[in-house]
């Protein structure tokens, strides 16, 4: 029964693997009349091919990013939750020289002649080094241009990529290990008890065998004639009596070990897994996907979870962030509202749950205006063009940044985008401002903050805008901000300092 159950579950995994390998992807193929974009299966993708991946699609292999639909910034956004569990989008950037060369050949990509020299396949997902030549000029390649199999393209219309590692040579496959056998606490307890019962059975059978041997030696003369044994019968030999009777008692006590209990548990688990996959209350409502049970060995553990320990706020909040409150120069603004119950949602601005008439009155003061300018300028979001939309739609690598920029837009400080020359356009209460980007210091786990260095267009003042965690920013602030942070933390709010 266990073998049949495992066979069915292995067949499910095989079916899942087959579906993965038979997904379609667009490959640029050379034809006599130019380049044709043909659909091929993932399993047929080969190293050196140029493929096109569209928004929401998974990458079928490890790719080098050649061209992105976001030409101005030359970036695309990638979701890597299948690799590292992070649902925050990560920006990947094209090399400008390589992108400019590819742009001239977009209508005939199969004629692109590139020779890439890079590392041999390895399992290090955060490391990649290589180079290629464009117009006799060496162009370096690093992990910023590497798109890994297992991740997906998000918030970007399309990208073109060059395949470098496929199949079992891709980094996700080199990091994957064989499926380990899993057993629940009940199963471990049952196995232990069965071993104890079997040992008791051996002791009991040995005792019965010894008892019979003693009785037989004392009554041999009466027993042999009664049973009609001759001297050649093995049962009459004293040396064999114990082992024969030990085996007889083992057969008689065979029901000691509850074999049927194991079979019953396996069948119950298998049927329970079917009920879990049929349960409509635990479906993914947005995508319409039912729960998939890959292994039914741990079913009974599901009902015994008492505590969840997590160091990742995104795990518990589903990465849904809303701008709720703010404190400017010691004055706190904002009232608690439920998700979706606010004015911002009514005008099509997401991730903002802020309501406070007092802040509207104070908008003409210098403090709030500087605060909004910082919200609207210290970030790396992109503007997504939306026709006939009341509000601008943004693409951000994290829900935190999206909430902050949308909050600035809601208050009238709108980020309009970045020009090809690297100038940020910003609408402050109806007045357009332009700021040249001198440098962007990206957020990292070591720095715990991100900064932008901007200069007002025309040689104006240079300003450093910074936002980050309280442990990093508080030493750089005036005193007196700690109490507000403590109040916000008691309400369960995630805090950020500007």
Task: Classify the C-alpha dihedral 37-40-42-43 as positive or negative.
Answer: negative
Q: Which of 55, 188, 169, 53 is nearest to 118 (CA)?
A: 169
- E strands along 136-238, which residues? 137-142, 146-147, 152-154, 158-165
Q: Give the chain's largest Cα–Cα span.
A: 124
Token pair in block for residue 382: 């992109």
Contact 344, 354 (CB under 8 A): yes
Q: What is the 3-state secondary structure (H, E, C) of 71-118?
A: CCCCEEEEECHHHHCCCCEEEEECCHHHHHHHHCCHHHHHHCCCCCEE
| CB half-sphere exposure, 149, CA atoms < 13 A | 25
Percent helix / strand / coil, the chain, rounded to 5: 40, 25, 35
Q: Which of 403, 371, 408, 369 is nearest to 493 (CA)?
A: 403
User: In this structure, what are the phi and psi dihedrals at residue 159, rounded to the nearest 5 degrees?
Assistant: -140, 155
Contact 73, 124 (CB under 8 A): no
Contact 186, 110 (CB under 8 A): no
The catalytic residue among 84, 311, 400, 470 is 311
Distance (Å, whole) CA 87 – CA 64: 22
Q: Which of 47, 20, 49 is nearest to 36 (CA)?
A: 49
DSSP summary character for residue 232? T
Give 282-340 as a DSSP string.
GSBTTTTBPP--S--TTGGGGGG------S-HHHHHTT---B--EEETTEEE-----TT
Beta-bridge partner residues of 89: 79
Contact 50, 161 (CB under 8 A): yes
362 is catalytic: no
Q: 72, exposed or middle or buried, with CB in 10 Å at 0-12, 13-18, 19+?
A: middle
User: For strand 62-68 and strand 158-165, is the pairing parallel, antiparallel, or unpaired?
Assistant: antiparallel
Distance (Å, whole) CA 364 – CA 368: 7
Catalytic positions, written as ranges: 311
């Amino acid at each position: 029964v266990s073998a049949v159950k495992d066979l069915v579950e292995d067949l499910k995994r095989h079916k899942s693997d087959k579906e993965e390998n038979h997904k379609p992807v667009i490959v640029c193929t050379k034809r006599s009349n130019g380049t044709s974009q043909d659909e091929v299966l993932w399993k047929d993708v080969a190293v050196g091919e140029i493929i096109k991946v569209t928004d929401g699609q998974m990458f079928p292999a490890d790719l080098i990013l050649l061209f992105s639909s976001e030409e101005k910034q030359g970036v695309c956004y990638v979701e890597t939750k299948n690799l590292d569990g992070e649902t925050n989008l990560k920006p990947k950037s094209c090399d400008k020289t390589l992108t400019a060369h590819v742009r001239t050949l977009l209508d005939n990509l199969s004629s692109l002649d590139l020779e890439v020299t890079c590392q041999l396949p390895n399992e290090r997902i955060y490391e990649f080094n290589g180079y290629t030549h464009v117009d006799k000029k060496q162009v370096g390649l690093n992990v910023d241009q590497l798109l890994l199999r297992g991740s997906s393209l998000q918030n970007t219309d399309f990208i073109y990529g060059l395949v470098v590692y496929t199949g079992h040579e891709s980094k996700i496959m080199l990091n994957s290990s064989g499926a380990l056998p899993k057993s629940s606490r009940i199963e471990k307890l049952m196995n232990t008890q069965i071993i104890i019962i079997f040992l008791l059975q051996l002791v009991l059978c040995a005792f019965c065998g010894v008892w019979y041997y003693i009785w037989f030696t004392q009554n041999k003369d009466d027993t042999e004639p009664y049973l009609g044994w001759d001297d050649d019968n093995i049962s009459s030999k004293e040396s064999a009596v114990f082992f024969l009777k030990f085996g007889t008692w083992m057969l008689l006590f065979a029901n000691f070990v509850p074999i049927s209990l194991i079979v019953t548990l396996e069948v119950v688990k298998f049927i329970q897994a079917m009920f879990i996959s049929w349960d409509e209350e635990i479906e993914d409502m947005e995508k319409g996907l039912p729960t998939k049970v890959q292994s039914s060995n741990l079913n009974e553990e599901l009902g015994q979870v008492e505590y969840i320990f997590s160091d990742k706020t995104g795990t518990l909040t589903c990465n849904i962030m809303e701008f709720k409150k703010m404190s400017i120069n010691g004055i706190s603004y904002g009232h608690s509202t439920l998700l979706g119950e606010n004015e911002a949602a009514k005008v099509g601005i997401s991730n903002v749950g802020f309501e406070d008439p007092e802040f509207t009155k104070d908008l003409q003061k210098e403090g709030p205006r500087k605060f909004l300018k910082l919200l609207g300028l210290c970030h790396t979001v992109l503007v997504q063009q939306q026709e006939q939309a009341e509000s601008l739609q943004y693409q951000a690598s994290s829900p935190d940044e999206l909430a902050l920029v949308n909050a600035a837009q809601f208050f009238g400080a709108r980020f309009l985008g970045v020009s090809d020359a690297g100038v940020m356009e910003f609408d402050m209460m109806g007045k357009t401002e332009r700021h040249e980007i001198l440098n962007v210091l990206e957020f990292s786990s070591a720095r715990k903050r991100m900064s932008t260095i901007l200069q007002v267009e025309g040689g104006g003042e240079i300003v450093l805008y910074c936002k980050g965690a309280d442990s990093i920013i508080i030493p750089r602030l005036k005193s007196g901000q700690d109490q507000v942070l403590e109040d916000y933390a008691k309400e369960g709010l995630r805090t950020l300092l500007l």
